[in-house]
Every structure is written in C-alpha cells, then in structure tokens.
Structure 1
Amino acid sequence: MILLFVMALAFVYVAALRLLGLDGNRVTAALIALTPYWAAAGLVLGVLSLAFRHWWIGGVVTVAALALAGVVVPRVIPSAQPQVHGATLRVMSSNQYLGHADVQTIVRLVRDNHVDVLNLLELTRREATEFERAGLFDLLPYRVFKPQGGGAGSGIASRYPVTELSLAGPSMMEQPSARIEVGTTAVEIVAVHPVPPTTSALIWRQEMGGLPRAPGSGPVRILAGDFNSTLDHATFRSLLDSGYTDAGESRGAGLVRTWPSSPFPPPVTIDHVLVDARAAVRDYRVLDVPKSDHKAVFAELMLP
C-alpha cells in the first residue's frame, strides 16, 4: 500500500506540472519530456489500483492519466492545412553529433528528397570540409556556416541565395539565420539549437525566449533544428503559440521520436520544424542518419 501510494504521488506530481504548464528545474524538465510514457504508465497504475480496490488512489491516478492522454493523443491526428497555392519549399534539419554524423548520408538525403534548405547542428570545421568534398555545395551552393568544436557550431545551406540575418538572441551555441527568396515569397530561416534544460533550465528558457516569434505578416518564418524541447514543455508551447505550426504534429507524426537513436534513454521528440502558420505542411518525415545520436527531420511546405 505504501509503495503504491508513493508511486501514485510521484505520478500525480509530474502530471500536475505538465498540466499546469510548469517546466521547473533540470530534473522536472527532463521528467516532463517523458509525458507520453507517463500517460501510459499512469493508466496501468490506475487500473491496477482500482483492481486492488484502492479506490481513491486508482481514481485520482486514472483521471490524471486520462488528462495526460488528452494532450498526447491529438499528436497522431493530422490537422487541417491552410489553403495556399505558393511555391514549394523542402526543409531538412540534422544534428551532426559533434561532427560525427555520416556526411555521405546527409548529401544523399538532400539529393533524394530534393531538399532546398538544410540546417546542420553541432557542425565542426572538419565536417564542413567533408561536406564540400562530398558535393553538398553542388546541390545547395549558398550557405551561412558557423562551424565550431564541442557541439557549438551550426550552419544553413540553401538552394537559393541567402542574406545572413541575426534573428535569434544570445546563445551558447550558434543559431544562424538567413533570408531567402522562393519565387515571389521571402522566407526567413533559423537553425535552432538552445542548450538542453538538463544543462541549465534557466539558460534554456532564456535561449528559447530569444528565438524569434512568428511574424504574422511579411516574410514567412521557419525555425528548424534541435530545440532540446518536446511538445510537453510549456517553454516550447509558448513559442508555438506565437503563430507557428509544428510540422510533425500537424501531419499526425508528433510522437515520432528523434533522439536518441538508441532505445535508452527513452526516446523523445526534441527535433522540430516550426512553420509560420500561414504556410501549409504537405509532408513530414523522420530520417535515419548513421553515426548520429539524432534522427533528421524533413518537411515539405507550401508557401503562401
């Protein structure tokens, strides 16, 4: 009975943080990232408690688990898209795992998926040179690359000419941005990579808060990269609520995990393509990248 009560108390605590929109500290932010697992575990715990006639415990846990399921389940249901008829833009983002990810695979994915804009996180100088040798710049000749060691580098490669911008606020890791012209539509791209909340929840919130909000008018804005955040983090949802659509969620793939590529720790969805709500998401996929701890994310968009 005591063990059951402790388990129920721990579950209700995490559920309350998620439902109240409180990311909390390093530990609680990590626990909130596991919300889909908590929802499933809570339903099992609730049913078992009721089966053993612990009515109060079972009732409270079951209600909390159903509430969590209510915020998780919609992620597998595709949502309606805006009726737009502009140009097509294909965006891919890949975390290169300290420059170890397989360069040839990235180039092949760019070629096979007709990628127009590629965001690279944890880009090193050595790997930038390898991309040049592998022919990436034959496919995407324009770029804003800021390679560094220690996972701090990032870059944007584009099929279209780029104008470098400075849209993201101060951050420990590079978060370059650029403007491109796709037909008659101006598009602003940001390669996103804030620090993980497990490093510092305070800095993570500050860097997430420094990302540009959706403009509502003017150039279409796209944020793509390793957000170190899931749809269950209130900090991430605040960014979404400014006027972005999560490409994976909008296509019913909001529960497809992107990190880590191995089964442990429990995989979560922290890589995203956030799209200005004025654009439509026509396709979304999660792609394997050998030698990286992340999977790449790909979105095909139709611009207004």
Structure 2
Amino acid sequence: MPWQVLWLVLWFMVTGLAGWAGLRLCGWEPKFFWSQLVSFTPYAAALSLVPVGCAAFLRARPLLVAALVVAGAFAVTVLPRAVPERNPPAAGPVLRVLAVNLLHSSVPPSALVEAVERDRPDVLHLLEFTNRMRERVEALGLARLLPYEIVLPGTESEGAAIYSRYPLRPSDTPIAAPVFRKSPRHLPAVVTLPGGREVEVVAVHACAPSEGWRTACWASSIRALPPAGERPRILAGDFNSTLDHAVLRDLIATGYRDAADVTGKGLSMTWPYYEQPRLFPKVAIDHVLADRRIAIRSFRTQRLPRTDHRATLTELVLP
C-alpha cells in the first residue's frame, strides 16, 4: 500500500474514532444505532491504539498528536473500569447476591440449583423466569436452600423472581410500568436480615436498546429504576446497558456504585455467549449497583449452560 494511501486511511480512522469518543464524552445518544454501537466503546478504545502505533512508525507528527488525543479520550472513559476503588467503612451484615438471566428459562433447572448449592447466595435474582421453571427448580430443592420468595408471573422474557435465605416482603418503592406490553419488568423486594436490619433489592430487567419503538422502552425502563435513598438498596440483573450509556451513568450518579467497576472488573463482559462464535464481541450489560455506603467485597461473572448471559455473583458488606 502506498504511504499516501495508508496516511489517508489512518486519518480517516482517527477522525471516525474522534467522533465516537466525542459522542461518548458528551453523553449525547442519537436515536439510531448509537445506543447499540456505544456498547462497544472498549473495542473502539483498543482500536484507537492502531493509528498511534502506525503514526509513530511513519513519524507523522500531526497524525501522531491527533491519534494520541483520541486514544487519551478513550482511556479516560475505559481504563478506570480496570482499576479497583476503595470501599467505604462498613461493618454490617454480609450479603451475597446471585443474579441470572435464564434466557426464557432455558437453563437446566439442575444446573441452577447446583449453582445455588455451590455459591451459597443469600439472595437470588432470576430473570426470564417462567412458571414451568418455578415448578422444576422448587421440586429440586431451591425452596429448601432459599425458603423465601417473591415471584412476578410471566412468560418468556416477562417473568422474574427473587429467592432469599432471609425473610422477604414486597417493596412499596414505586417503579413505573413498562411502556409496552410484553416487555420485561423489574421486581423490588425488602430483605430483613438477622437483627432486623432491612435492605431493599431490585431484580432488574430492562428492555433491549433496539431501534424503533424499543428505544423508548429501553430508556424508560432504566429511568424507572429507583435512585439511591435512605434505605440501602441493591439493583442487580440485566440492565441491557453498559457503563458507556448515559442513562445508566445518570442512575449510578444518584448514589450507587457499580460492583464490577469498583472491584476493577468493569471490563468483564456478560453477553452474548450462547450459540455465538467464540470471537463475537461481547459487552457488559449485566450489573450490580449498590448504594455507595455499601462496601463491595467481591464481584465475579460465571457461566451457566444454555443462557446467553453470564451470571453475576457479588459479595457486599452493609454499613
């Protein structure tokens, strides 16, 4: 390739990536495919290093300066996710939360119950939870492991459930109904810990940020989630949003911290895995948001069979 053509290609890359970084930094989200494309910002950040290296090799100083500025803009938004943060002082009860999107309840019930037996969560969030799945997991002993439950009936993607080791009751926190029928729904509940301490949990399942009518459903389903408040609150599940979406960052800014981000695992991707090529790019759309007064001791993702999401397991210490 002639050097002039390579030079033009590199300038084209830098210009396009500069536009990407600019949109991401300003938080403006146009109503077309940007709500999907911005999820891949970590990959764009990695790509931004290519013109830096090429410009350095070619000794093209103006191009190198421009490429470094763009790469720096991406670094500001992406690199902090890989750096652990300090926790607030917290000496209260420890709570382990496992959240799983079951892909229309396709996960084998035995695999789910085995995961609960192995990981010993105190609270279990189940999304895309059908009545048939409920019958099967309870027959296998889930209710023995986690005897308290609140179930939101539904078919395919609509249903949700929270199972708990400790007493559980419905929450009176208002959450707006979905904009459209046949949409996922959030499920809030209050867990009463030994000693009477209460913490609110919300099993989160937002609409997907698709084009057309689902764009409105997606944004409104995130905005419907409650901000951090007086009672400690934990939101866990499928947000269908990444830390590169302004609507999710706005929710976090009300007084939450993202567990993956806090533990330096903010680049742990969670979707899509099932029936996808190994090299298909993945994004981080499953989150655990905890009140900023709560210490986040650990966070990890893990595989369950026949679901396109990674489950999240988080250990938290209440204030």
TM-score, normalised to structure 1's length? 0.94
Task: Please point out which of 273, 276, 283 is paired with 1:268.
Answer: 283
Q: Give distance in 1, aligned partners of 2:51 and 2:131.
A: 49
- The answer (yes or no) to whether the contact 2:301–2:310 under 8 Å persists in 1 is yes
Q: 1:105: how far off?
A: 2.0
Which residue does the alignment assign to 1:170?
177
Higher mean alpha-carbon deviation, 73-82 vs 54-63, is at 54-63
- The answer (yes or no) to whether the contact 2:99–2:312 under 8 Å persists in 1 is yes
Residue 289 in structure 1 maps to residue 289 in structure 2: no
Residue 210 in structure 1 maps to residue 221 in structure 2: no
- The answer (yes or no) to whether the contact 2:14–2:70 under 8 Å persists in 1 is no
Q: 1:251-262 alignment to 2 at 5 Å? A: 251-261=263-273, 262=276
Which residue does the alignment assign to 2:198?
186
Residue 154 in structure 1 maps to residue 166 in structure 2: no
Which residue does the alignment assign to 2:132?
126
Task: Please point out which of 230, 241, 248 is paired with 1:229.
Answer: 241
- The answer (yes or no) to whether the contact 2:39–2:245 under 8 Å persists in 1 is yes
Q: Give distance in 2, aligned partners of 1:84 and 1:223.
A: 19
Q: 1:201: how far off?
A: 2.5
- The answer (yes or no) to whether the contact 1:225–1:272 under 8 Å persists in 2 is yes
Give the secondary-structure state (helix, strand or coil) at the position aligned to 2:48.
helix
Name the aligned partner's letter for residue 149 of structure 1. T
- The answer (yes or no) to whether the contact 2:167–2:193 under 8 Å persists in 1 is no
- The answer (yes or no) to whether the contact 1:81–1:281 under 8 Å persists in 2 is yes
Q: Give distance in 2, aligned partners of 1:163 and 1:222.
A: 15
Q: 1:2-151 alignment to 2 at 5 Å? A: 2-151=8-157
Q: 1:50: how far off?
A: 4.4
Name the aligned partner's letter for residue 219 of structure 2. R
Q: Any unmatched runs of 5+ in structure 2?
A: none
Name the aligned partner's letter for residue 176 of structure 1. L
Give the secondary-structure state (helix, strand or coil) at the position aligned to 1:144.
strand
Name the aligned partner's letter for residue 142 of structure 1. Y
Name the aligned partner's letter for residue 215 of structure 2. A
Call closer, same or farther: CA 1:264–1:151 in 2, change over 3 Å: farther
- The answer (yes or no) to whether the contact 2:82–2:261 under 8 Å persists in 1 is yes
- The answer (yes or no) to whether the contact 2:99–2:311 under 8 Å persists in 1 is yes
Q: 1:278: how far off?
A: 1.1
Name the aligned partner's letter for residue 114 of structure 1. R
Q: 1:203: how far off?
A: 2.2
Q: Give distance in 1, aligned partners of 2:55 and 2:151.
A: 55
- The answer (yes or no) to whether the contact 1:173–1:195 under 8 Å persists in 2 is yes
Call closer, same or farther: CA 1:79–1:178 in 2, change over 3 Å: same
Give the secondary-structure state (helix, strand or coil) at the position aligned to 2:104.
coil
Q: Give distance in 2, aligned partners of 1:149 and 1:57.
A: 54
Q: Give distance in 2, aligned partners of 1:242 and 1:102.
A: 37
TM-score, normalised to structure 2's length? 0.89
Q: Give distance in 2, aligned partners of 1:227 and 1:33.
A: 12
Give the secondary-structure state (helix, strand or coil) at the position aligned to 2:96.
strand
- The answer (yes or no) to whether the contact 2:109–2:136 under 8 Å persists in 1 is yes
Q: Give distance in 2, aligned partners of 1:303 and 1:68.
A: 34
Q: Any unmatched runs of 5+ in structure 1?
A: none
After superposition, the C-alpha distances for 1:207-243 in whole angstroms (9 at most, x for unaligned) are 111100000x2x2101000001111111111111111
After superposition, the C-alpha distances for 1:106-157 in whole angstroms (9 at most, x for unaligned) are 2122222220111111112221111112211111111111232231211111
- The answer (yes or no) to whether the contact 1:50–1:59 under 8 Å persists in 2 is no
Q: 1:54: how far off?
A: 4.7
Higher mean alpha-carbon deviation, 20-29 vs 223-232, is at 20-29
